Amino acid sequence: MKETTNTQMEQLPVHEVLHELAAALDDEGRAVLAAPPGAGKTTLVPLHLLASGTAGTGKIILLEPRRLAARAAAFRMASLLGESPGETVGYRMRLDTKISARTRIEVVTEGVFARMALDDPELAGISTVIFDEFHERSLDADFGLALALDIRAGLREDLKILVMSATLDTARIATLLESAPVIESAGRAFPVEHRYRPRPPRSRIEDDVAAAVLDMLAREEGSILAFLPGQAEIRRTAEKLAASVADDVIIAPLYGNLSRAEQDAAIAPSPAGKRKVVLATAIAETAITIDGVRVVIDSGLQRLPVFEPATGITRLETVKLSRAAADQRAGRAGRTAPGIALRLWHEGQTAALPAFNPPEILSSDLTGLALDLAHWGVVDPAQLSFADQPPGPALAEARKLLQMLGALDPAGRLTPSGELLRAIPLPPRLAGMVVKAAESGTAFKAAELAVLLTEQGLGGTSIDLSERLRRFRAEKGPRAEAARGLAARIAKTAGASRDDNGPFDPGAALSQAFFDRIAMARGARGRYLMANGRGAELAEDDRLASEDFLVIADLTGSAARGRVLAACPVTRETILEARAEAIVTRAECVFDRDSLSVRARSVTRLDALVLSERQGTRPSGAEAAEALAEGLRRYGLSLLSFPKEAAHLVERIGFLHRKLGDPWPDVSETGLLESLDIWFTPFQTGVTALSAVSPKSLTQGLQALLPYLLAADLDRLAPTHFQAPTGDRVPIRYDGDEPVLSIRVQMLYGLKNHPTIAGGVPLVLELTSPAGRPIQTTRDLPGFWAGSWKDVRSDMRGRYPKHVWPEDPADAEPTRRAKPRGT
């Protein structure tokens, strides 16, 4: 290693623990390194392990969470050795690889390592695996570590495993690594001053970041790195700054969709006499150094994927970042000189931020993981040492999808088709699409479409995938060429024939992959319903908004109104042919919102999509009752008129549920809608309209919610009436949070204790005058008699002189009449 390399290494804080770290790996074979941002761990640790002989004769594999970080780390290490990437240090990622027979350190993205381990369970020729920036907790990193630990335990006890992070729950990870030693490095190379600038309420993030950038350009020296949640916010911020910054300031966006050249330009040093403002997503949080940056501006927001197992869709949510991410971002300011981290929130809010981002394994589509687990021969993921076990519901949905794709048998074992899908470097849905296309001689075109969907930015940003595919085929440049090369390799793996050039319909191909997202127009222009029952929409002026049918490959937003990000038109005829086995025709009873009644129809349906229908015979029986119940579930109980007796029964049961809990049933609207099959449907057999529902049937149905023993307790615990001292039965109201008794105050004379129900719950007494007007509300009748009664009595005697107003009502005779004449 060059002498200059040693000098540069000694200047970084992590240098002080390199020998201790190497010794730990030599002795234990595994270790955890905690080193703050800027300590130099990404670059120096692999080089030291190689130079010290700790790696032996095998390769060192360094895992990075992002391609940009992987490439930057490889270039940095190679430059310290006076070499170019591909010699001693190389890198390997999806569309870009530089390695040779000389390569001893390979920097790879996390997904690449998982595939390496799956394809070669002994990791032959590899001595050390380093997981960098593990705190990001990507699904691929978690799975890769679980595989590495399993390989070490069963096949390669000589395999060295090192987990590194700037912000990490080190004790937990050390335990996962069987009590591995924890090495802690000193702080960053240069100090970072934290400043705070809270954002005004309801302001736009691009306005706030642009204002902060302009302010820091005027006040501070050096370049600026500003973190925003996504590409759209970066674009809008860049537009605002372009008209305001001086000529010596370069605005440089940095996000995943950019080309390699654009990303490299963003992190390169500024030209002499120039300053740079880098507007970045979380891609710039870790493992890269942007030369010249002295100021970091943190919006405090990030965009995280959230997977919905029920719909098979991953949506992006903009949320507050974690404290760990905030520390990582701030650390970017102290990499090459003392810096400033300007945070766009109040200082006191920092403590309220979550400590870490949620692990991706807890909120991701697990279809690929389920396929890989089956290939590894693991049915129960608890057999592997995951930092967090994959959630059961998401894993079950993933396996269900894989069975539909023919990749798993009913027992969850990998089928020959599954082996083929796993061999293709695509998500299982898209891999299945390419395999299917190979049968019709269109594998290469389908593979191009699949690569287009997995490599953001290729072919432009149009929602219409047909248009993007056309542009992608005409694109020039290294990335487009590499993507087409990848598509060719995928097609070959999928079994493409030599005459693979048949007519290709993107919509038909996508319907094989996203069969649950075939969508049909409904209502207003641009509104669609997907086969999985979820809504989706396009802007009214989008070219696809007039299509009757789409296949939606990507969308985001709420379940009711997801925003389409990528789709392709498809014809009804194509759907009928491609999904013939899933299309059924059957008689149905449906609820009509306009008439509040049930009608029968014969329906041809693809899951939630009604492709055609015709009028059927008159509905009757339990089927009609269930259709009425479905109408209530969809439109709410407000469609139903509860008689007074039934409404009062609901209020009484609701009071007991709130006060005593289970087993008293939940009779809120949500609870009643969830239990329609108990109290509504069985009592409406043969009823075909809500107007024909009898009041008596509703009361009987609600009574059915109560088991026999509870029904016997209802009148005791929540009586309908209160027996007044006069002998009168006065109704109790349960329409609020507390039971209320509205009663003439004279009817309570002689009562020394406050009336209660349900084992001690006090009635709220609304005491009224002889004319029924309220005079006092109390939850303590004895206290009222002894206290404010004196003032009430004085007032009432003047207003109602013909009525009895004793000085001591607790010992008086109750009455509801005026004084006898002559008294």
Q: What is the pLDDT of residues 240-255, one digit of tens each?
A: 999 899 889 999 999 8
Burial 77-87 (b: 16+ CB within 10 A, else e): bbebbeeebbb
Classify the phi-psi angles of 528: left when phi > 0, otherwise alpha if psi is within -120 to 50, otherwise beta. Answer: beta
Among the residue ranges 13-17, 34-38, 471-475, the one predicted with the least confidence is 34-38
As a whole number of angstroms, the distance between CA 176 and CA 381 comes to 15
Mean pLDDT (whole number) for 201-209: 93
CA distance 603 to 624: 16
Gap between the Cα atoms of 784 and 777, Å rounded: 9
Which residues in 130-163 are b (16+ Cβ under 10 Å) and which e? bbbbbbbbbbbbbbbbbbbbbbbeeebeebbbbb
Please state the rounded mean pLDDT for residues 162-166: 89
Alpha carbons within 13 A on the beta-carbon side of 166: 26
pLDDT at 289 over 80: no
Question: Residue 791 is encoded by which pair of tokens?
Answer: 């003032």
- Domains (range + CATH), the chain: 3-184 (3.40.50.300), 192-361 (3.40.50.300), 510-578 (no CATH), 638-717 (no CATH), 721-811 (no CATH)
CB-CB contact of 158 with 26 (8 Å): no
Instruction: Compute φ and ψ for 513, nearest 5 degrees.
Output: -90, -40
CA distances (Å), origin 253, targets 92, 238, 278, 334:
25, 8, 6, 21
Tokens of 30: 């595994």
* Tokens found for residue 232: 């759209």
Label residue 558 by pLDDT band (50, 70, 90): low
CA geometry: angle at 207 spanning 204 and 209, to 5°? 105
> What pLDDT is stored for residue 3 in this prediction?
44
Angle between the N-to-C axes of helices 443-454 and 506-513, in degrees from 0 to 180, rounded to the nearest 10: 70
Rounded-to-integer distance, Cα 80 and Cα 106, Å? 15
Q: What does each C-alpha distance from 110 to 93, 113, 130, 133 come to in angstroms?
A: 9, 5, 11, 11
Above 90 in pLDDT, residue 9? no
Question: Worst-scoring range by mean pLDDT, 86-95, 280-289, 448-457, 641-650?
Answer: 280-289
**In whole angstroms, what is the distance from residue 514 CA to residue 337 CA?**
50
CA distance 410 to 394: 17
What are the percentages of helix, strand and coil residues in the chain, rounded to 5?
40, 20, 35
Structure tokens at 662: 């289970």
Task: Tell me the whole-structure pTM to 2 decimals.
Answer: 0.74
Share of the chain above pLDDT 70, in %: 96
Tokens for 344?
């766009």
**315 pLDDT above the threshold of 80:** no
Q: What's at 573, amino acid-wise?
A: E
User: Which pLDDT tens digit goes with each residue over 753-771?
Assistant: 999 998 889 999 999 999 8
Number of neighbours of residue 820 by Cβ within 10 angstroms: 7
User: Other C-beta atoms within 10 Å of 668: how many?
Assistant: 14
- The Cα 532–Cα 694 span in angstroms is 36
| Mean pLDDT confidence for 196-220 | 94
Q: Is 806 strand, coil or helix?
A: coil
Cα–Cα distance, 563 to 7 (Å, whole number): 53
The residues facing 33 across adjacent strands are 164, 183
Instruction: Work out the widest C-alpha separation in the chain, in whole angstroms.
Output: 122
d(CA 167, CA 331) in angstroms, rounded, equals: 11
Binned at pLDDT 50, 70 and 90, residue 4 comes out as very low
Cα angle 668, 669, 670 (rounded to 5 degrees) comes to 90
